[in-house]
Amino acid sequence: MGIVSLCSMFQSYQKESFFDEMFAAERGEVFPHYEALLERFDRLDEAEVTEKQRRVDRGFLEQGITFTVYGDDRGTERIFPFDLIPRIIPDAEWQTIERGLTQRIIALNLFLHDIYHEGRIMKDGVIPEDVVKTAAHYRPEMLGVDVPKDIYIHICGTDLIRDGEGRYLVLEDNGRCPSGVSYLLENREAMKRAFPRMYRHYGVRPVDHYPELLLKTLQHVSPRPGQTPVCVLLTPGVYNSAYFEHTFLARKMGIEIVEGRDLIVLDGYVYMRTTKGLVQVDVIYRRLDDDFLDPMVFREDSVLGVPGIMDAYLRGNVALANGVGTGVADDKVTYAYVPDMIRYYLDQDPILENVPTYLAWREDDQKYMLENLARLVVKAANESGGYGMLMGPTSTSAEREEFAAKIKENPRNFIAQPVVSLSRHPTICEDHEIEGRHIDLRPFILYGEDVEIIPGGLTRVALRKGSLVVNSSQGGGSKDTWVLHR
Amino acid sequence: MLSRVADSLYWLSRYLERAENLARLVDVCRYDALDAADDDNEEIWRPILYATCTEESFREARDATDDDLDVGSFITFSEANPDSIRQCIALARENARMVRDQISEEMWLELNSIHLFMQSGEAEELWRLQPEGLYREVIKFCLLFEGLIDATILHDEGWHFVQAGKFLERADKTSRILDMLTYAGEPERSQLASALRSCSGFSAFRAEFRGEVTLQNVMGFLLFSPSFPRSVRFCLRELDRILHAISGMPAGAFSNEAERITGSILAQLNFSSVENVWSTGLHRFIDELQQQLNLIGQQVFETYVLLPSEVQNVARPEAWQFQWQQQQQQ
């Protein structure tokens, strides 16, 4: 660990009591993998930083790497704020994460297969049947259905955080339509342009093969083996906030991007409408939730879906990635059982731990929750994006009462966790001050013939001072994530 | 190619061709206004409102505001004008967004840049200080984009739809510019010259005719010239070729209504003359021509975008549109 004299931009940096990704202690005791970075920033002055930032932001805007702000009539598009200081993960650290995530996605897929078939895990009393069957995204339609290669979650985004000691913990799994990978890839492009020499010097593991891996993952489950499968990406449409990502991935994979209205089901097969007539589709990478997929089976009022697509899916004539019914795994109550699943199916200890979680439907846990609301984070089991949450320490007593009532009324739907003070990372803030901001990490896991994880993931950063919420809808930004060769 | 993608590529290019033509037209009109002795600005601008079919929306927009509404600004920026240059570019970009995976990175970057520019205060500022500067930017962009279409994407089916949109729109705009001449009764020489300049055709006209700038010559040039790339005949000949490239039909035969109508107008243009038009009356001739051009557009849509069974459900109710947008945001 090196002691360095802090350059001007870092001079007033305060590590405070948090785990800091760059500094082991106050006043310049820096982790070795950050030394070169610090040196590089030492040679930058404020004007250069401003210029680099301006160029990067302009690039994002011009390329249309934007998300649409909902609730704005003019359909304003914003860029996802990008921070120039990269997050660096040494190889050894990454290997542990990789093993942990691999173990986890295997267990989750075994779990999904099990609950839609024999239900051994419920019969053996590891997870109560009630918890599984009352999950908001549990799909009884999938009972007894064999999905191609027994894979349910082909693409998973698992959110990791680091606690006060720097331990990596799993915060949640996103097994439906995880998004963000396009930002990860574009962030890398931006950093390569902004700091070419430093990037080269560091020996960073590349990420740009993700689209190829994704395409392989999709092709792996084609129901028509032996010929080049026709894969498409199904998007809700241009008004979806992740639309940029959908076109980005389709373009990089060289597959068609389709909307529901481009597809039609005839005699249990899915076709896309082309200028030359109908073309049969084998695999659909759908970025549309189950609810909207098929108005004949799920929400009747869906105008985004494809009538009859579930029939084609259940008959095995088309593959969907991710499969239908994977949302059970996103349920925050199910999450609490993932370590048990790993032990049950794999007979291994979990490599990555969960954040300790209290389940309100357990009497003891509920009692504890209600008595300690001010010290806990309460979450609704099926909300995401930082919504439906109570941040105990910063809540008002009125908010706590409201949540207490909600918990008592519907205990199945609530969990609580101690407040984990997420690790912080130096981040360029307003007025070009560098300050510590809380971050998390969303790696993207692909489950095809093998489990593939591109090194790193999307590092999201809570740009508001003191905030622990990293979601883009609530003042979050992102950083490039460098996993090193060594 | 997905039918929806073909449709978007076709509209993307129609909107840009429209923006380019508008920019030329307004710039010429604005320049002519400098020479006008008349104080009544609106009188000078009226033909252009007529030619762009925006007389009514202009009146509505003018009545809705307390300030004076400038026709130039209305055609360049107004959101109340669905066919303003700014709106055309925004719509082209919206179509490009839907097919981003089909167009080249360069095409997207340029289109998005001009869109961001046209939405910004910078564009209005430039227009206020130096209007021709703004129109030149737009025209330059459109020409650049045309070059990118030629040089950076595959010349396959998608490219053909882009070309179809371009030539159909161009034929329509040239015919409208010609129609402006019938608006005033007996057009003066300066008006004839303006029509030629609005099509970027003055020097080409001189080269081809050498003679006087007369209504007959201008008509002959803009309708019948076999080699001027904005004449109606030239555009229809290209469109005919492109539609056959899309369907694979041999030249001279047809497999759908779009091809049939295109072929029949082209034959008419190939084998008639200024005298024929004269006896019909220019305005009536153009009126009929425009109806036919609209029909071609409609038939392209029905042939390649809709499945026959769906033709009757084309008009989506507004409520459906709203629901469609809302659900995407969940």
Reported as a pLDDT band with limits 50, 70 and 90, residue A4 is low
Domain hosting B254: range is 155-308
Q: Name which of B79, B327, B329 to mutate to probe chain A: the one with the most chain A Cβ atoms within 10 A of its Cβ.
A: B327
Q: Name which of B3, B153, B328 to mutate to probe chain A: the one with the most chain A Cβ atoms within 10 A of its Cβ.
A: B328
- pLDDT of A69 > 70? The answer is no
Q: Does residue B285 share a domain with residue B186?
A: yes
Cα separation of the two ends of chain B: 29
> Torsions phi, psi of A439, nearest 5?
-135, 160
pLDDT at residue B306 in the model: 75
CB contact under 8 A, A276 and B1: yes
- pLDDT of B321 > 80? The answer is no
Question: Looking at the domain covering A356-418, what would its CATH class be?
Answer: alpha beta
Pairing of strands A231-234, A283-286: parallel
Closest-CA residue of B relative to A241 is: B329
What is the percentage of chain A residues whose pLDDT exceeds 90? Answer: 74
Q: What is the pLDDT of residues A22-57, one digit of tens each?
A: 998 876 789 999 999 998 888 888 889 899 999 999
CA distance A253 to A178: 17
CA distance B151 to chain A (A): 19
| From B94, B161, B307, residue closest to A273, measured CB to CB | B307
> Which range is most confident: A17-26, A153-162, B279-288?
A153-162
B287 within a domain of the structure (yes/no)? yes
pLDDT at residue B312 in the model: 41
Domain count of the fold of chain B:
2
Mean pLDDT of the A63-73 span:
68
Closest-CA residue of A relative to B319 is: A303
Reported as a pLDDT band with limits 50, 70 and 90, residue A74 is low
Q: Does residue B215 share a domain with residue B94?
A: no
CB contact under 8 A, B328 and A247: no
CB contact under 8 A, B6 and A275: yes
Contact residues of B toward A, CB < 8 A: 1-6, 94, 97-98, 100-101, 108-109, 112-113, 116, 157, 161, 246, 304, 307, 320, 323-325, 327-330
b/e sequence A57-80, b meaning 16+ C-beta within 10 Å: eebbbbbbbbbbeeeeeeeebebb
- Of B153, B176, B194, the position where a domain reaches its end is B153
Q: Does residue B239 share a domain with residue B110?
A: no
B37 within a domain of the structure (yes/no)? yes
Mean pLDDT of the A288-296 span:
94
CA distance B117 to chain A (A): 10
CB contact under 8 A, A304 and B328: yes
* pLDDT mean across residues, chain A: 91
pLDDT at residue A104 in the model: 97
CB A150 within 8 A of CB A113: yes
A151, A174, A181: which is closest to A242 by C-alpha?
A181
CA distance B73 to chain A (A): 20
CATH 3.30.1490.270 intervals, chain A: 356-418
A323 alpha-carbon distance from chain centroid: 17
Q: What is the pLDDT of residues A88-110, one digit of tens each?
A: 999 999 999 999 999 999 999 99
pLDDT at residue B183 in the model: 77
pTM equals 0.85
Q: What is the pLDDT of residues A303-337, one digit of tens each?
A: 899 999 999 999 999 999 999 999 999 999 999 99
Pairing of strands A414-418, A2-3: unpaired
CB contact under 8 A, B329 and A304: no
Token output for A259: 């909307």
CA distance A203 to A356: 36
B273 within a domain of the structure (yes/no)? yes
pLDDT at residue A62 in the model: 85
CB contact under 8 A, A250 and B101: yes
ipTM metric: 0.73
CA distance B111 to chain A (A): 9
pLDDT at residue B314 in the model: 45
B319 within a domain of the structure (yes/no)? no
Q: Looking at beta carbons, which pairs linking B234-238 to residues 24 or more positions away fall under 8 Å?
A: B235/B167, B235/B168, B235/B170, B235/B171, B235/B174, B236/B167, B236/B171, B236/B262, B236/B265, B236/B266, B236/B269, B237/B266, B238/B163, B238/B167
Closest-CA residue of A relative to B101 is: A251
Mean pLDDT of the B140-149 span:
96
The count of CB pairs under 8 A between chains A and B is 79
Q: What is the pLDDT of residues B152-209, one digit of tens each?
A: 999 999 999 999 999 999 999 999 999 888 877 788 888 899 899 999 889 899 888 8
- pLDDT of A458 > 80? The answer is yes
Mean pLDDT of the B221-237 span:
95
Reported as a pLDDT band with limits 50, 70 and 90, residue B313 is very low
Q: What is the pLDDT of residues A18-29, one digit of tens each?
A: 999 999 887 678
Q: Does residue B285 share a domain with residue B191?
A: yes
* pLDDT mean across residues, chain B: 88
- Of B134, B153, B172, the position where a domain reaches its end is B153
Q: Name which of A77, A275, A290 to mutate to probe chain B: the one with the most chain B Cβ atoms within 10 A of its Cβ.
A: A275
Mean pLDDT of the B21-38 span:
83
Reported as a pLDDT band with limits 50, 70 and 90, residue B317 is low
Q: What is the pLDDT of residues A369-419, one digit of tens each?
A: 999 999 999 999 887 666 778 888 888 999 999 999 999 999 999 999 999
Q: Does residue B112 share a domain with residue B55?
A: yes
pLDDT at residue B208 in the model: 84
pLDDT at residue A206 in the model: 96
pLDDT at residue B39 in the model: 62
B72 within a domain of the structure (yes/no)? yes
Q: Does residue B300 share a domain with residue B205?
A: yes
Q: Does residue B17 share a domain with residue B114?
A: yes
- pLDDT of A225 > 70? The answer is yes
- Give A-chain residues touching B327 at CB under 8 angstroms: 236, 292, 302-304
What is the percentage of chain A residues whose pLDDT exceeds 70? Answer: 95
> Torsions phi, psi of A481, nearest 5?
-120, 120
What is the percentage of chain B residues whose pLDDT exceeds 90? Answer: 57
Mean pLDDT of the B128-143 span:
94
pLDDT at residue A71 in the model: 59
Mean pLDDT of the A68-84 span:
72
B195 within a domain of the structure (yes/no)? yes
- Give B-chain residues touching A301 at CB under 8 angstroms: 323
pLDDT at residue B166 in the model: 97
Please compute, for residue A13, the number of CA atoms within 13 A of its CA located in the half-sphere on the CB side: 32
Mean pLDDT of the B249-255 span:
90
CB contact under 8 A, B2 and A301: no
**Three-state secondary structure along chain A?**
CEECCCCHHHCCCCCCCCCECCEEECCCEECHHHHHHHHHHHCCCHHHHHHHHHHHHHHHHHHCCEEECCCCCCCCEEECCEEEEEEEECHHHHHHHHHHHHHHHHHHHHHHHHHCCCCHHHHCCCCCHHHHHCCCCCCHHHCCCCCHHHCCCCEEEEEEEECCCCCEEEEEEECCCCCCHHHHHHHHHHHHHHCHHHHHHHCECCCCCHHHHHHHHHHCCCCCCCCCCCEEEECCCCCCCCHHHHHHHHHHHCCEEECHHHEEEECCEEEEEECCEEEECCEEEECCCHHHHCCCCCCCCCCCCCCCHHHHHHCCCCEEECCCCHHHHHCHHHHHCHHHHHHHHHCCCCCCEECCCEECCCHHHHHHHHHCHHHEEEEECCCCCCCCEEEHHHCCHHHHHHHHHHHHHCHHHEEEEECCCCCEEEEECHHHCEEEEEEEEECEEEECCCEEECCCCEEEEECCCCCCCCCHHHCEEEEEEEEECC
- Of B106, B128, B153, the position where a domain reaches its end is B153
Mean pLDDT of the A182-188 span:
95
**CB count, 10 Å around CB of A154?**
28
A485, A486, A479: which is closest to A22 by C-alpha?
A479
Lowest mean pLDDT among A412-426, B38-52, B182-196, B309-323: B309-323
Q: Does residue B131 share a domain with residue B110?
A: yes
CA distance A71 to chain B (A): 10
